Structure 1
Amino acid sequence: MTTLHLFDMDGTLMHGSNANAELAGRLGLTERFREMDAAFVAGELDTYSYAVRAHRLWKGLTEDVIAAAFAAAPWVDGIREVWADIRARGERSAVISMSPGFFVERLLDWGVHAAHGSRFPPFPFGEHQTVDAAGILAPEDKVRIADELCAAYGLSRADCVAYGDSMSDVALFAAVPRSVAVNADHHVSGLASHAYEGRDLRAAYALARSGNGAA
């Protein structure tokens, strides 16, 4: 018996920000993405329509821009240490995010076992490319991917603990028995087994192991 730790990225591993915002800041598109974020929260855009608009705006995106945005992002402390401890215990870890896979997958270099994000066409982005709806993740896909990971690792939902902060984590929090709300909003704070406010993942991880309720 082992454990699968499932991490959200935006707002959870990245404090107060998200991949799209960090990329937008590098490309001078912050206001455009703020408008899109507001439309998404209001239900005017779904994840696919958001992705299509983002792809059109990302014509100037390069690997160097992504690398710079990733390096400068406001990551919480202790991510590598938490994932190293999970590995040392013979457990598994994964990041599942609706953000672009080309950003999320960079976390593999930090020691997470698996990293899943939305799939976009290859670089360089152009107006003649088509964003495949099947590759763009929605909140319910977090549960599907968690189930796939469980099957691959010989585990079940009962062996999972989820870490997240917002509406996109509701379905996953409802599906697994243990969860940690990290700097969370009202969508998940009432669903979580534990709650953490702060900027150190090691403390949130310790809560998941301890049985205490909040820190």
Structure 2
Amino acid sequence: MDLRGIVFFDIDGTLTPSGSTSSFLAGRLGNQRDLDEAEDRYAHGELTNKRVSEIDAAGWRGAEATTIERWLDELPVIAGVEPVLSWCQSHRLEPVLASLAWQPVGQSLARRYGFTTNGGPRVGSSQSVYDGTVAEHFDEFDKRDRALQLAAERQVPVTRCCAIGDSRSDIPLFRALPNSLALNAGPAARAAATSAVDTDDLVAILPWLERWQRGLDPWSS
């Protein structure tokens, strides 16, 4: 595809508005209480992303990769994902995941909807069984840097990239791009984004995306 631009989508709180994907999985793994407390402390700046990842990964010890994949098939997502991705693809805009969610989460959403995966933390594993360690840490600055790296690899300038997210982890990427949308976001993300919208259906972002893509001269249709 001859790309006109890239749309970066956050996962937790954006594509999965009912809660974080880590909390969703922790509810099945049996460590949701500890994980929810850690994520709340991260949101308030009391814990680092690294420490939250370590607490989260510990709950994966002994879980099989196939079990995690099956649970993720049931992950609830915001309404309207399919038409928004169809719109992106019809306008030659690549829909890319930019998130701190674990890599299997991004891979699952990519299979279900057609997103491009791009980074994320990784739980250690051996012979398709998770060992409870963090094999690869990934914070909000890695998220920004990986997004910019992908754009460079695609030879797409940042002026033809935008980001959609909701929280503290989106702020570095918001600040690196000229256009960003805070979706159902907290105050800090709203302040960092160039626009904001509240909705329970992702289709509501299409007017904003339409205005953005019309400004991608000389590639505008």
TM-score of the aligned structures, taking structure 1 as reference length: 0.87
Q: Secondary structure at the match of 1:154?
A: coil
Unaligned runs of 5+ in 2: 213-221
Give the counterpart of 2:129 among 120, 124, 138. 124
State whether residues 26 and 65 of structure 1, in contact with CA within 8 Å, keep that contact through their aligned partners in structure 2: no
Give the counterpart of 1:111 among 100, 110, 114. 114
The match for 2:80 is 78
C-alpha separation in 1, matches of 2:56 and 2:23: 11
CA RMSD, Structure 1 to Structure 2 (Å): 1.9
Q: Does 1:153 align with 2:158?
A: no
The match for 2:27 is 25
The match for 2:216 is none
Unaligned runs of 5+ in 1: none
C-alpha separation in 2, matches of 1:67 and 1:155: 32
CA drift at 1:192:
2.0
C-alpha separation in 2, matches of 1:193 and 1:209: 15
Residues 3 and 143 (structure 1), Cα distance of their counterparts in 2 relative to 1, 3 Å cut: same
Q: Does 1:188 align with 2:189?
A: yes
The match for 2:199 is 198
C-alpha separation in 1, matches of 2:117 and 2:53: 22
CA drift at 1:174:
0.9
C-alpha separation in 1, matches of 2:32 and 2:144: 30
Q: Which amino acid aligns with 2:99?
A: S
C-alpha separation in 2, matches of 1:173 and 1:106: 25
The match for 2:218 is none
Identity of aligned residues (%): 26
Structure 1 runs of 4+ with >6 Å offset: none
User: Which piece of structure 1 moves more, 168-177 or 102-111?
Assistant: 102-111
Instruction: Write out per-residue CA displacement over residues 78-108 of structure 1, whole angstroms, 9 at most, x where no aligned residue.
Output: 2122122212222212001111101111121
Q: Does 1:89 align with 2:91?
A: yes
The match for 2:43 is 41
Q: Secondary structure at the match of 1:140?
A: helix
Q: Which amino acid aligns with 2:120?
A: G
Q: Which amino acid aligns with 1:116?
A: G
State whether residues 102 and 120 of structure 2, in contact with CA within 8 Å, keep that contact through their aligned partners in structure 1: yes
CA drift at 1:136:
1.4
Residues 131 and 113 (structure 1), Cα distance of their counterparts in 2 relative to 1, 3 Å cut: closer
C-alpha separation in 1, matches of 2:118 and 2:201: 20
State whether residues 105 and 116 of structure 1, in contact with CA within 8 Å, keep that contact through their aligned partners in structure 2: no
Q: Does 1:172 align with 2:191?
A: no
Q: Which amino acid aligns with 2:129?
A: P
State whether residues 17 and 74 of structure 1, in contact with CA within 8 Å, keep that contact through their aligned partners in structure 2: no
